[in-house]
Amino acid sequence: MKLSLDQVRRIANLARIDIDDAAAREVHAKLEAIFAMIDELQAVDTEGVEPMSHAQDVVVALREDRVTESDQRERFQAVAPAVEDGLYLVPRVVE
């Protein structure tokens, strides 16, 4: 993908970034390098390669799903400023 200097200026304008000509040329060069790297990555044949969720073969050790604490809801709600039907009541913040 090719990007012109005018497009860099337009993108900066849309992002509300004040950019002078020297900075625009610098950003243009960096973006061109990034696009060249993307083109290089897209040129790699990935046919038959299964997508991975992680770069390494990581296995997450899961713990047994069991209750480890007692139910303390009544105790916690006893100190709450406002509770109704087991729910905490909070002041309205959106009108």
What is the H or E stretch that residue 41 is in? helix 21-42
Residue with tokens 């000509």: 21
pLDDT of residue 73: 93
Q: What is the pLDDT, as a whole number, of residue 58?
A: 80
pLDDT exceeds 90 at position 33:
yes
Q: Which sequence spans correspond to the domains of the chain?
A: 5-42
- The packing angle between helices 5-14 and 21-42, to 10°, is 100
- Residue 86 region by backbone torsions, left for phi larger than 0, else alpha for psi between -120 and 50, else beta: left
CATH hierarchy code of domain 5-42: 1.10.20
Whole-prediction pTM: 0.51
DSSP state of 83: E
What's the pLDDT tens digit per position in 36-82? 999 999 999 999 988 888 888 888 888 898 999 999 999 999 999 99
- Proportion of the chain in helix, strand, coil states, percent, rounded to 5: 40, 5, 55
DSSP character at residue 49: P
Q: What is the pLDDT of residue 18?
A: 94
What pLDDT digit, counting tens, does each position of 13-23 carry? Answer: 999 999 999 99
For residue 59, what pLDDT is reported? 81
